[in-house]
A = this chain, B = another copy of it.
Amino acid sequence: MAIRVTIFDDNKKLLDSLDILIDGSPGFQIAGTFPNISNLIADIEKSQPDVILMDIEMPGMNGIEGVKIVKKHFPKINVMMQTAFENDEHVFEAICAGASGYILKSTSPSRILECIVEVYQGGSPMSPTVARKVLGFLQTPKKEPNLSNENKDDYNLTNREKEVLSCLVNGLSYKMIADQCNITYETVRSHMKKIYEKLHVVSMTEAVAKAINQKIVM
């Protein structure tokens, strides 16, 4: 008996290709595909899925809300989240909301099928990176009281590097940072390279996002 899969994804193209992939694979069957979750309950009752594939980034009500509703009304149905990014917040929220799996949109077709089976069988497939984040949530449960300085991981940035990063977060260009810190443009570049290396990022935007989200500066 085939595993019935219902998909919620606003990306028409992806939705179609998933439809073809899943429905065309023996042992699987598409129960329904929907571009949004505005009729979530009704859609599920109509399609009667064993497993739900839910895009996390959808306009309007997003996938996190979606999974909450699903688990509330259909606790038996396992929901696998699909996302473009391995965003810390999303991972955590999705899991707390009751998601059973968490895979990337870039996952290969064959692996997607595997994951559907695993979810159906009660497992929780997730990418190693997501898994690491999940473990991280468990490993740092003892930090409710103080939240002031003594920021655990500042990635070993030097003072100068933090200063430069701080400028970056404030929207300054390399040239402006050079001016601000009384150093040359090339020196700013040197610091940036080091910062990228230490933060494991490759662009200004990533650096800024990480700096803010992990409170490395300010």
Segment of A1-9, A24-32, A39-47, A138-146 engaged in the interface with chain B = A138-146
Chain B proximity mask over A199-213: 1 for CB below 8 Å, otherwise 0:
001111110110011
Residues in B with CB closer than 8 Å to A138 are 92, 95-96, 134, 137-138
Q: Are A131 and B127 in contact (CB under 8 A)?
A: no
Q: Does A110 contact B (CB under 8 A)?
A: no
Q: Are A218 and B89 in contact (CB under 8 A)?
A: yes
Q: Are A171 and B203 in contact (CB under 8 A)?
A: yes
Chain A residues 109 to 157 lying within 8 A of chain B, measured CB to CB, are: 118-119, 121-129, 131-132, 134-135, 137-139, 142, 144
Complex-state Cα separation, A129 to B131, whole angstroms? 12
- Name the interface size band of chain A: 35 or more
Closest CB in chain B relative to A110 CB, distance in Å? 15
User: Knowing A139-B98, A163-B59 touch, does A209 contact B124 (C-beta < 8 A)?
Assistant: no
Chain A interface (Cβ within 8 Å of chain B)?
A: 11, 13, 57, 59-60, 62, 84-85, 87, 89-90, 92, 95-96, 98-101, 118-119, 121-129, 131-132, 134-135, 137-139, 142, 144, 159, 162-163, 166-173, 180, 182, 201-206, 208-209, 212-213, 218
30 contacts between A and B (CB under 8 A): A57-B163, A59-B162, A59-B163, A60-B159, A62-B218, A84-B170, A95-B135, A95-B139, A99-B135, A100-B132, A118-B128, A122-B132, A123-B127, A123-B131, A124-B134, A134-B134, A134-B135, A137-B138, A138-B138, A170-B206, A170-B209, A171-B201, A171-B202, A171-B209, A172-B205, A173-B203, A204-B204, A208-B208, A212-B212, A212-B213
